Amino acid sequence: MSFAAVDVIRTKRDRGELTPEQIDWVVDAYTRGDVADEQMSALAMAILLNGMTGAEIARWTQAMIASGERMDFSGLSRPTADKHSTGGVGDKITLPLAPLVAACGVAVPQLSGRGLGHTGGTLDKLEAVPGWRAALSNAEMLAQLDDVGAVICAAGDGLAPADKKLYALRDVTGTVEAIPLIASSIMSKKIAEGTGALVLDVKVGSGAFMKDADRAGELARTMVQLGTDAGVRTVALLTDMSTPLGLTAGNALEVRESVEVLAGGGPADVVELTVTLAREMLSAAGVSDVDPAEALADGRAMDVWRRMIRAQGGDPDADLPTARETEVVTADRDGVLTRLDALQVGVAAWRLGAGRARKEDPVQAGAGVELHAKPGDDVRAGQPLLTLHTDTPDAFESARRDLDGAWEIGESAADRPPLVIDRVG
């Protein structure tokens, strides 16, 4: 069945509900190039402004899945579970989480992406490890899952190609924020990936994509429903992203911190969220008799990390890259650090070279921001608050501007929001 693209656009422009046949046709036709970018741009804007029903979102997601291949992990000897984060500052959780869950008996097929703007990308972080490679064939991915139990890699070109094309279009047409398109973008890839269980980490706060808890909750509920309807056991946690996670924002800096967590140390918030998400993944996969905190403490997770890095060509014992230049930012008074804004720290790390403005831009492995205090900590005048790392010292000035007003020092600490704000599913 064929339609005129303009009629599909008018239906949504006039707040009508698209039929399943219209959705199937327009997604397929756009993927094949029969619907022009400007036409899909108009439809995406109409969706942003007028929304979609649950039935429309579900059908749109299925049409995106149908545009490419579906992976199948049913032949593995253990259940599978995956995690997706909507992105934040210092969010290195995937790095210790994947080997931790694998060490507890559940295989983790983690398809990850690269950073854009102030949010870091898991693949960029891991590429700071000498020799590590992100691109694996489906056969290599399956073999590594069977042998090691965990893989973190880039999604292949055959997985939801409609999403790749539409994602790039949304990025340049002001339609990224449309919840139906966000939900279908994330879930089409995760469902096509073939995992049996999925835990969603939906970030809320200044450094997150979703600043507002109500909208984050709407996105979480939409994605959980999509996953559940597709037969994937799905749960979502809303987690705080008003302050950076851990004490680093950057690529090699975050890998180093992740290894500290796997070695039984690391910042308390990173450990807490890693163990919390691991418990959710194990429960969703039907494994309830293993405590991930023990697997983190006794070195089992570190063993899987080392095997996982080696399996993808990396050297877990190699020195990680360091930036050529550093600059320290100090406190201007005594008191208690009451606020440290995640967005401003993330933008500063991006300016220093840890992130990219366009997908084709390179990143610096050693660039980023190191934190020496978190909200609630006592500080003294002249004490280091942040260390800026970069290979391009000209970037220090713009990074300092981005950090203007990023923190407050008061007489006493304010109550901090819990790390896990809510649970959906």
Residues with a catalytic annotation lie at 84, 163, 170, 185, 189
For 129, the token pair is: 């490890």
Q: How far is the C-alpha of 183 from the C-alpha of 274, rounded, in Å?
A: 23
- The maximal CA–CA distance of the chain, rounded, in angstroms, is 71
Q: How far is the C-alpha of 312 from the C-alpha of 315, rounded, in Å?
A: 9
Cβ–Cβ < 8 Å for 83, 193: no
One-letter amino acid of 254: E
**33 Cβ contact partners less than 8 Å away, ≥ 6 residues apart:** none
**9 Cβ contact partners less than 8 Å away, ≥ 6 residues apart:** 39, 42, 43, 46
Task: Walk across the sheet containing 407-410 and list its strands.
Answer: 378-379, 335-340, 407-410
- Residue 143 vs residues 149, 158, 286: alpha-carbon distances, Å: 9, 18, 23
For 410, the token pair is: 């008061």
For 175, the token pair is: 């339609």
Crossing angle, helix 20-32 and helix 161-171, to 10 degrees?
80
